[in-house]
Amino acid sequence: MRMRCQLTGREPGFGNRVSHSQRKTRRRWNPNVQRKRYWVPSLNRFVTLTLSAKGIKTVDKLGVEAAVARLRQQGVKL
């Protein structure tokens, strides 16, 4: 599964892991991405979205219809 939220666009962040001796090696911070299944009444079917935790909260706030409309406006195929 791709570590990218479909709604917010949140992706992994990159940086350095710094040890006690100040050695720096590359690391990444993965977003909390989950697959969530929603019933969309206008489409009369379930839609599975890959969302971050913030994306799930956004869908709860806006409603699934508005979130799906926003995704379609971005050109995401559902």
Confidence of residue 78 (pLDDT cuts 50, 70, 90): confident
pTM of the model: 0.84
Q: Is the pLDDT of residue 13 over 80?
A: yes
Q: What pLDDT digit, counting tens, does each position of 23-51 carry?
A: 999 999 999 999 999 999 999 999 999 99
| CA pair distance 22, 45, nearest whole angstrom | 53
Query: Measuring CA to CA, which residue among 7, 3, 1, 4 is closest to residue 57?
Result: 7
The pLDDT value given to residue 72: 93
Q: Is the pLDDT of residue 1 over 90?
A: no
